[in-house]
Amino acid sequence: MQSIEEKIVRSTEGGAAEITFGLKVPVTQRDVEFLVEEVYKGRSVLSGSTTKIVLVRWEKPAGSTMVKIGEQRSSNLRTHDLVLMTKEEATRHLKEVLLGDKTVRDIYSPEIIEKVESKQKIVDGYDWAW
């Protein structure tokens, strides 16, 4: 997740690799566990596979993805933004959607989009007060 966010920040900020030094991704281990185990049940939202799964942004962010307070750099990533895919699916998704010029509607079926939206509703309805 960290390396994908760094690539997105470099793409949206138009900077070199140094721009992402010290970049914080505001997603905790508990957030990851909740998403992987409870929301996605350990399966890719695209294929249902349980092999080599990763969390990745679903849609290309509009505008900058980096929040900077003083010298502190952080991604604006939220748990709602994340979906579970296989590493291979995520690589394609990164290339075509997150860094490319396609939207999720250009690539995925209405059934997949509806499935993701239902998962996002679960995330939105969850009490995040740990």
Name the more confident of 71 and 90: 90
Question: CA-to-CA distance for 67 and 78, rounded, in angstroms?
Answer: 13
Output the pTM of the full model: 0.80
Question: CA-to-CA distance for 85 and 45, rounded, in angstroms?
Answer: 6
pLDDT at 16 over 80: no
- What's the token pair of residue 3? 């390396």
Burial (0-12, 13-18, 19+ Cβ within 10 Å), 104: middle
| Residue range 39-76, pLDDT digits in tens | 999 999 999 999 999 999 999 877 666 666 667 776 77
